[in-house]
Structure 1
Amino acid sequence: MKNPSLSSVPASSPAKAAVLRSRAKPAATAAIACILGLGGMLTLTGCDSFSKQTADAWAVTYEIEVQGTSTELIGAVSYDKAPSRGEDSSSVTAGDVSTTKLADSKDSAVWKVEAQVTAQKRAAVTGTAQPGSIASCRILLDGVREISKNTAKPGEPVSCSADTPAFQKK
């Protein structure tokens, strides 16, 4: 015996309600699996963006300090930044940047920027001191933990780079 067409079943019929509920179950099950990430469903159901949004990422501070006779500008500055959580880093060209004088030294100044970098991805910064000045760079995780440091010769480019570490699992 054939199932009656839903259009021929009255809207208030318990039979029509049961058919509609049974049709909704596969969609609901797929949505729940996507949210929970069960059994490899992440990539099969298009939920890969969910895993990227919850990926571990570091707050990275890039610093370039200059010392010498010309400390107002740092040239050709670029640094790595993840476009969003879970993504690979890409280079941002900042160009020539202004520095901030350090309070404890009349011949030193610093430029800083914060960026997000996914755990286990590359973090890098580069810049060039003006003639007569020396540039040093550092990369800090969460503003505290130093993962790279370097100093260049006067007037030459300085570069720091490191792969950010994985988060420790508890």
Structure 2
Amino acid sequence: MASPHQSSRRTRGGTFFVIAFVAIVTLIAGGLLWGKSNITKIKEWRGGNAWDLTYEAASTGGEPQATALGYRHNPDRTKPGHKIERLGTTSLPWSTQVTVITGEEARVEITPTGDATASCRILLDGIRVVAEGKSPGPGKPAVCHVTTSSTPEKWPR
């Protein structure tokens, strides 16, 4: 038979573990709720609000080459201000990864050689197509552009 002293010790030990478990669960839930409501601040602390995009360009018919290719991006995800890169003759297919700040325009333009037609795409995180375009005719440029979502982590469908 257990003495009253041992029974009291078991009750206190069980109570301690229940209180500790409830405290840990409360801290974790509170941290998750705080993080969810402060995601914008967290992104600012880690280095700004920007989207990682992939620009792609290709051509059909004629030579697999562009006479001109240009694209817009933000060189620094923490500071406003964009840069426009202009490439001369470029082999196709072509792609590059860029960063574009939230609420800014993402843009790529490709001019195919001679009688070729061009196409371009802008992909979010390398997967989801958010813009695409095609040449209206041979030798005419294809343009893809989209204004990125101004809300971090929420790109409209």
Q: TM-score range by the shorter chain?
A: 0.5 to 0.7
- Preserved CA contact (<8 Å) 1:52 1:85: no
State, as a whole percentage, how many aligned pairs show the same letter. 30
1:157 corresponds to: 141
The Cα offsets for residues 103-162 of structure 1, whole Å up to 9 and x where unpaired, read as: xxxxxxx11111111121111000111112110111111101111111111111111111
Q: TM-score, normalised by structure 2?
A: 0.63
1:128 corresponds to: 111
Aligned length: 109
Give unmatched runs, 5+ long, in structure 1: 1-49, 100-109
Matched, 1:76 2:61: no
Q: TM-score, normalised by structure 1?
A: 0.59
Amino acid at match of 2:73: K
Q: Secondary structure at the match of 2:89?
A: strand
Following superposition, the deviation at residue 51 of structure 1 comes to: 4.5
Matched, 1:64 2:48: no
Give unmatched runs, 5+ long, in structure 2: 1-42
The alignment's C-alpha RMSD in Å is 2.0
The Cα offsets for residues 4-46 of structure 1, whole Å up to 9 and x where unpaired, read as: xxxxxxxxxxxxxxxxxxxxxxxxxxxxxxxxxxxxxxxxxxx
